[in-house]
Amino acid sequence: NVLILDFGSQYTQLIARRVRELNIYSEIKPYNNPPKDLSNYQAVILSGSPYSVRAEDAPHPDLSEIKGKKPLLGICYGAQYLAQFNGGNVAPSATREYGRANLSYVRENETFLEGLGEGSQVWMSHSDTIKELPQGANRLASTHDVEFAAFHLEGEQTYGIQFHPEVYHTTDGKKLLENFLVKIAGLKQDWTPDAFIETTVAELKEKIGDDKVILGLSGGVDSSVAAMLLHKAIGKHLHCIFVNNGLLRKNEFESVLDQYQHMGLNVKGVDASARFLDALKGESEPEKKRKIIGRVFIEVFDDEAHKVENAKWLAQGTIYPDRIESVSASGGPSAVIKSHHNVGGLPDYMQLKIVEPLHLLFKDEVRRVGKNLGMDPAILGRHPFPGPGLGIRILGDITAEKVSILQEVDAIFIDGLKKWGLYDKVWQAGAMLLPVNSVGVMGDERTYEKCVTLRAVESTDGMTADWVNLPYEFLQKTSNDIINKVKGVNRVVYDISSKPPATIEWE
């Protein structure tokens, strides 16, 4: 197990992912709230930070229980911190130390640098630089502008690097992490999807025993994989509830329910479309629509959950990025933990204990676990879909007629992406129904009908996104199909806005 102490770098999660790609488990903890018991950690990595180590309010944690006692790697700020507080000197750098650089010196016969050579590309991102190393430190590598790109403190397993091994542009970054973690710290590479499944299923069995568990399925990857893990552990004691809020994609409720049943899940489909549409009638304010959908969902889910007698647990598909305590940009000890948006929590009187089988995993790891559980690639590769569904893609108020128009449009677009082999190249796609009528002409008739916009984005986490350059031929065919087949729509536009400043959804 590797401990990553976070000093607030934008790359900290990437460090954890790179380590896990080496099949070594890693955990991120904020520098100002480290674990009390360090005995489970065989190595420690210090992240980068937006701070300068010379600033008074910068993170300066006590490392006396770590440094010299466990293999320790400081990255960027982490390296400068190790240098500054062991007798070296860090100062603002005179030359630009951002972006691409190449190693110009690599010390020979160093296990730490095995496989890296002169010319190896690294990625720098710092405005301070190490001017002098501490006594007893050896320079291991340099670039043209950075003399102490890597160093080692003699007599201990302490290393510092001023570049970022976790980013893709550091070509041999993964090799370097492997050298440190496997060859120097002696960690085993046994954190695999199969090992995760085996231990998680055993833990779930032990924790839950013969209790009943309730889980809300959304059709998405996370809740589906969580359900399969629990199913493997406790079988029919898992009671899944899949709610149709009437705002799902065309035929999604029936087909997904069918898939779940084929997977052997004990699932109850609840069609509450009318209840949602009724509650939404006349409301056009986006945040109010969200709140209504959230509230009705909880009411419906609660009603169904009550029918499961003696249920003791509520399972959720929360994943690791939802739970990482983040060090805020101001460096303060903020603990921002997002709640899972699809199951917004249940009334207290239900007294259910929470179980979250995926709380250790990143999204790509969830997919790998799902694959090893033998799940259908179509479920695992599904685009993200917002909890409020088409409700926030119909701008303005929602009616049954608008839902059905948008479902038809969306189905033509999504089926088209699949047919053209574009679906897996896009992170998320969908259509929005705009509150705009425009003039058209069909045959000899003037029309005055609705306008839809298509949106397809590439992203890794939805926090930032860019529109996808879909082939014109595809857009042409899709637009034709929509206007010819969907009654009530006479105009199709394509959204070419990035996030930021736009968002992915229009509401």
Choosing from 317, 357, 387, 416, the residue that interacts with ligand XMP (CB under 6 A) is 387
169 vs 499, beta carbon nearer ligand XMP: 499
The annotation status of 167 as a binding-site residue, yes or no, is: no
**Roughly how many angstroms between the first and final C-alpha of the chain, as a whole number?**
42
CB of 504 to ligand XMP, least distance (A): 3
161 vs 215, beta carbon nearer ligand XMP: 215
Choose the binding region for ligand XMP from 4-12, 158-166, 382-390, 407-415 (rule: CB under 6 A): 382-390
DSSP secondary structure letters along 215-239: EEE-SSHHHHHHHHHHHHHHGGGEE
CB of 115 to ligand XMP, least distance (A): 38
CB of 467 to ligand XMP, least distance (A): 12
Choose the binding region for ligand XMP from 230-238, 300-308, 349-357, 379-387 (rule: CB under 6 A): 379-387
Question: Any catalytic annotation for residue 166?
Answer: yes
Classify the phi-psi angles of 373: left when phi > 0, otherwise alpha if psi is within -120 to 50, otherwise beta.
alpha
The kind and range of the H/E element at 293 are helix 286-307
What is the rounded distance in angstroms from the CA atom of residue 402 to the CA atom of residue 412? 16
5 vs 426, beta carbon nearer ligand XMP: 426
173 vs 388, beta carbon nearer ligand XMP: 388
Choosing from 321, 384, 396, 440, the residue that interacts with ligand XMP (CB under 6 A) is 384
- 499 touches ligand XMP (CB under 6 A): yes
- 363 touches ligand XMP (CB under 6 A): no
What is the rounded distance in angstroms from the CA atom of residue 30 to the CA atom of residue 79? 17
Alpha-carbon Rg for the chain, nearest whole angstrom, is 26
Binding mask 271-310 for ligand XMP (x = CB under 6 A): -------------------x--------------------
**Strands of 121-125's sheet in order across:** 26-30, 2-6, 43-46, 72-75, 158-161, 150-153, 137-143, 98-106, 121-125
The torsion angle over the Cα atoms of residues 416, 419, 420 and 425, rounded to 10 degrees, is 90
Handedness of CA 336, 340, 344, 345 (dihedral sign): negative
Q: Token pair for residue 98?
A: 């951002």
Question: Any catalytic annotation for residue 169?
Answer: no
Looking at 97, 147, 166, 507, which residue is catalytic? Answer: 166
Other C-beta atoms closer than 10 Å to the C-beta of 412 total 23
Report, as residue numbers or ranges, the catalytic residues: 76, 164, 166
Residues that bind ligand XMP (CB under 6 A): 290, 341-342, 384, 386-388, 428, 462, 499, 503-505
| Binding-site annotation, residues for ATP | 218-224
